[in-house]
Amino acid sequence: MSYVLAFAGSNSSVSINFELVKYTASLLKVQEVRLRDLSKYPFPMYSEDTEKESGFSNSLVEFKEEIANSKGLIISVNEHNSYPSAYFKNTMDWLSRLDAKFFADKKILLMATSNGGRGAMGALDVAEKMVARFQGTVVESFSLPRYSENFDEVKGITNVELAKVHAEKVASFVKSIS
């Protein structure tokens, strides 16, 4: 358990939440970070029939093992209509079929961003409850509103106040897993 696993709950190839995760992961200088782009994980829509017919994909089992073997997680959830995306929920559904406590004992930095003024707060609130249900502990949460105005792919978070809050949350998370 010597690494932090970082991913966004999005299957979009142009996910702004993945950009936020990638930036956040780059700040962890003394920790090994495994960055996973879930747009590369083709999990089918969960159903009992699919589980019976096809079982669990190797990529799902490997992802669950990466979660289990990590010392902490950085997750950024995207928002569709004030809730986490169907893809994120689907991924949680599949993982919970392997192990209902797949986040057990994991310290989590939970984030969300959107181009709206609330910064995907609806999705963040729901995701926090989901994490707790699967036995994870959200040690810090961070919302980045107005992504296009407050984030640059090279510079990171450009709003000084938001950058300061983000840095404090990251430092607190790192301290929790040290």
Q: What is the pLDDT of residue 89?
A: 96
Per residue in 121-170, pLDDT tens? Answer: 999 999 999 999 999 999 999 999 999 999 999 999 999 999 999 999 99
Q: CA 30, CA 44: separation in Å to the nearest integer?
A: 36
Cut 0.85: pTM above it: yes
Spatial contact of 140 and 173, defined as CB atoms under 8 Å apart:
yes
- Domains of the chain (ranges; CATH) run 3-177 (3.40.50.360)
Q: CA 9, CA 91: separation in Å to the nearest integer?
A: 8
Buried b (16+ CB within 10 A) or exposed e, 92-117: bebbbbeeeebbeebbbbbbbbbeee
CA dihedral 14, 145, 121, 113 (to 10 degrees): 20
